[in-house]
Amino acid sequence: MALSKDITPLIGLTYNIDSSPRIDLPEHTHSVDCRLLWQKYYHLRFGINLPIGLWSEEAFLDENLFRHLQPNEKLIEGDTYFFGKKNDLPKSFHLAIFTGEWYQQDPLLIHASAFNGKTVTLDPLSKIIKTPQHAQIMGIKRLRPDLFQAHILPVVYNNAK
């Protein structure tokens, strides 16, 4: 699964639940959990530093920075999947990021999981949801358009008079 984007520095990082985006911990360079991976991905790909206290629950419930995707809305790179089980609380949701690439008909996601060899990997959605802990998509969120455009899309000035 070759990617057109260089996210190779993230692939293979060790999964470690203690490598969460906690303010009181030093930055982890060799290990991540799914939330810290999400932060690193946004920084690497878009130059965006997400708030350090944005954990699974905060990210899922936040409506200021991110919005929930509508059914059948077209995916774009950076869209974040939240996985869980039926009665899971948002604080235990697993995060995976859409890379903007597809594997056959499946969105290709990057994620860090204890159930995936304890490393950061690229997996099609259909593989992730086969894991009992990640079997249900609880939601998909996207950075709000005004923030996305301000930080990611190039600014084009029209100098025509």
Sole residue written with tokens 């790179």: 77
Q: Does pLDDT of 8 surpass 60?
A: yes
This prediction's pTM:
0.83
Domain count, the chain: 1
Residue 6 is assigned to a structural domain of this protein: no
Cα separation, 119 vs 116, whole angstroms: 7
CATH number for the domain harbouring residue 20:
3.90.1720.10
Q: Write the pLDDT tens digit of every residue in 77-123.
A: 999 999 999 899 999 999 999 999 999 999 999 999 887 678 899 99
Q: Does pLDDT of 39 surpass 80?
A: yes
With bands split at pLDDT 50, 70 and 90, how would you rate the model's confidence at 146?
low
Range of the domain at 54: 14-151
Q: Are the C-beta atoms of residues 16 and 37 closer than 8 Å to each other?
A: no
Q: Does pLDDT of 157 surpass 50?
A: no
Residue 110 is assigned to a structural domain of this protein: yes
Is residue 141 exposed (0-12), middle (13-18) or buried (19+ Cβ within 10 Å)?
A: buried
Q: Are the C-beta atoms of residues 109 and 123 closer than 8 Å to each other?
A: yes
